[in-house]
Chains A and B, each alone.
Chain A
Amino acid sequence: MRHGVARFVTGFLALPVGLYVFYVVWPFLQAAGYSLTDWGGYSDRQQFVGLDNYIRLFSDELIRKAFWHNVFFLITVPLFTIALALFLAFLLNVGGREDKAGVRGVFGSGFYKVIFFFPQVLSLVVIAVMWQQIYRADSQGLINGVLMKIGLVSEEDPITFVYDPEPFLGVPAVLWWLLLIAVWSGAGFYMVLFSAAMQSIPKDVYEAAILDGAGRFHTFFRITLPLLRDTVSVAWVYLGFIALDMYALVFVMTPSQGGPNHASEIFASVLNFTAFQKGQFGYACAMGVALAIFTILLAALQLRITRRERIEY
């Protein structure tokens, strides 16, 4: 009965798999190969050094610092983005008047959806340039200018945003300011994602709950969130990748790409410095491979933890 299926599938998949292997898997393997050499990146001169680069990685202070900064983003970016996106999606879809049987969003929710989704339309560089003006550290910056007008900030002492390495809750202030941009630019997309998922939850579930006297709080935590489990889990994995990257924001927004004085250094910025400024491509490749392994382990762990029975309705 299933004659020829295997052949059909193979024929169908040969081209995409071929492209995938050539453009994704092969460079990946190449990088792993280079990570075992002392290649400098500008010539074809290289020497096999075994696992030296990986051993060096463990005693590299800068990498350790960068690692913890990445861990900070890994925890905060998904947490804040998902919390904000869920909150907005709930308001826009089922947060409206709860006395009515018809479950709906707050007044003007269609308009808000467009507004909140807007950052997603902009490229990250446009976002970064825009935030440079918002964060500008003198009276011409948007935030500083407004706060100076109303007298909350003195002209002599503007908020320095991404130039501020002083710790706030044990983490350099610059990382919190970057986090704000990351959450702002990501929340809109996940709001739309969660909205779509919420709309697929049958209305009668909510109606039954409301008849039973459930308020907004209970409908959210007892019905919406459990039924969104799959979507939230996917969002979490995605945001985890973004948090491990963060490269564009750090590169465009911070002084000396990882500054001030290494306060916003992340894996990718150290990798970039090692490869392109120091000319140690072999070592940089080792960092890349280590990051890839870490990412894969993390995603596997994440998918395993959230694996549950799937509810179908």
Chain B
Amino acid sequence: MSVSSDLNRRTLLRRAAAAGLLVTPAVGLLSACAGSTPSENTDNAGEKSTDNPFGVQDGSAVKVVIFNGGLGDAWAKEDQAIFNAKHPNVTVNMSSTQKIKTEEQPKMATTPSDVVMNSGADMMDVSTLVNEGAIEPLDDLLAAPAWEGGGTVADTLLPGTVADGTFQGKFFVVNIAYTVWGNWYNSALFDREGWTPPKTFDEFFALAPKIKAKGMSPYVYDAVHGYYPRWALMATIWKSAGKQAVIDIDNLKENAWRAEGILPALEVWEKLVKDKLVLPGRLDHTQSQQAWLDGKAAFIQVGTWLKNEMAATIPPGFEMKISDYWGLGATDKAPNDVYAGAGEGIVVPSKAPNKAAAKEFLRAVLSKAGSAKFAELTKSLASTVGSGDNVQDSALASANELMKNAPKDLVSIKFWNFYADMDKESQNLSQELMAGRLTAAQFVDKMQAAADKVAKDSSITKQTRDA
């Protein structure tokens, strides 16, 4: 045996290597933080005209990144064709991905893409983008003439679209899909059994035993992503407590979560869980949707992208229809308000090299031809007027029907876009409530605490809504 202690070249190298090893786990995380110096912004500017309101320059290129999720990306290729029909000499470099933030965030401060569809689970936080000045206000797009003429771009948009994309008084996000949320059911099955889709929780609780008698669970939901159950909880709160109560919540008003009508809206959900009306297990969005398609559950709540997302596995004879979220009945302050709004936002980064072409591309996306193709290909309404008029499809038709009977006020919740902390907390608590580990009263207490914490935190930029 011998002891080696002298510092020779070999031990030196060994120690250097060991030191390298030490920092590896941390560096992986830290390198995510590292940025680099921004480059100068050079905008391509050409002649402006009515037909070319932003002065897109011939020979320039525009880079478009599409989120390839529930809606796919086939519709975007149609928009590219529409764009190129007017501007044949502008190159559109289109790519699609599911990892928007992973791929785009590192480029935002230097050389971002020109058009970014900021959507999906991996999207960039919009209020941060606005606060940091990282995206371009698009008010001039709203004022520009529509692609096919006849009024401005703003005139072609469905109600709520401009409001949904407006932050701190400026229009930043073009939400291209018009989504209607609600409870889906198989109308073929309901006709066969003689069931009527309920309008209130009482009607649902009355129907539930009949559904259970058929060996089905009355309800299924995505238990993995917290924002799925949260849509339903917030819709019930809106219907029960009314619009002003939600506006107060969004504005972090003191004791907003204790307003009249909010606790009862959560108690019906508590009852739904306690009465075991939910399909057992914890499924994610596609698993729960498939369970619903397989006839394991009667109702599922999700938005109108559902049909497109599940297109490959819809069994023959299955007739998807959407019905409005259930209310509490006579005490409701806004029983008929439908949960709908523009989603799937597209943004133009402030440092985009070709902003003129980016805006022009958005004009093409919002064109009549573009949005009709969008509705046809995605089975989802576009956020422009009349996009779904010529599409024959039971799912889309029922959504259209729901919208036609909807009052002017649409259910819209803002706090989760305003504050990331409240977003996370409300998702977590929604999951806990639906898992039966939290009572309605505890939910209210904890949400109020989360809201108070955000209100007190001076490092968070506050936002408000009026309507």
Contacts and interface: CB of A to CB of B under 8 A. Distances in A.
Contacts of A34: 33-35
A271 B3 CA distance: 44
A291 B225 contact: no
A259 B431 contact: yes
A260 B428 contact: yes
Contacts of B101: 276
A40 B30 contact: no
Interface string A166-186: 000000000000000000000
A311 B249 CA distance: 69
A275 B276 contact: no
Interface stretch (A110-118, A217-225, A281-289): A281-289
Contacts of A272: 32
A43 B35 CA distance: 9
Q: Which of B3, B428, B429 has the most CB of A within 10 A?
A: B428
Contact of B421 (A44, A241, A278, A284): A278
B23 A28 contact: yes
A251 to B, nearest CB: 11
How many B residues are at the interface, by size bracket? Answer: 35 or more
Given A138-B281, A276-B105, A20 B35 contact: no
B17 to A, nearest CB: 11
B427 interface: yes
Contact of A31 (B9, B18, B33, B423): B33
Interface in B126-156: 127-129, 131-134
Interface in A232-278: 237-238, 241-242, 244-245, 247, 255-256, 259-262, 268, 271-273, 275-278
Contacts, number: 180
A243 B35 CA distance: 27
Given A34-B33, A160-B282, 15 more contacts: A41-B33, A44-B38, A137-B282, A156-B276, A237-B21, A255-B224, A255-B225, A256-B226, A256-B424, A256-B427, A259-B226, A259-B431, A280-B459, A295-B26, A299-B21
Interface of B: 1-4, 9, 18, 20-35, 37-38, 101, 105, 108-109, 124-125, 127-129, 131-134, 223-226, 276, 279-283, 287, 291, 350, 420-421, 423-424, 427-429, 431-432, 435, 437, 459
28 contacts: A24-B23, A27-B34, A28-B26, A28-B27, A30-B34, A31-B30, A38-B459, A40-B131, A43-B132, A43-B350, A44-B35, A138-B291, A238-B21, A261-B431, A273-B424, A279-B132, A281-B33, A284-B33, A288-B30, A288-B33, A291-B25, A292-B23, A295-B22, A299-B21, A303-B18, A310-B4, A311-B1, A312-B2
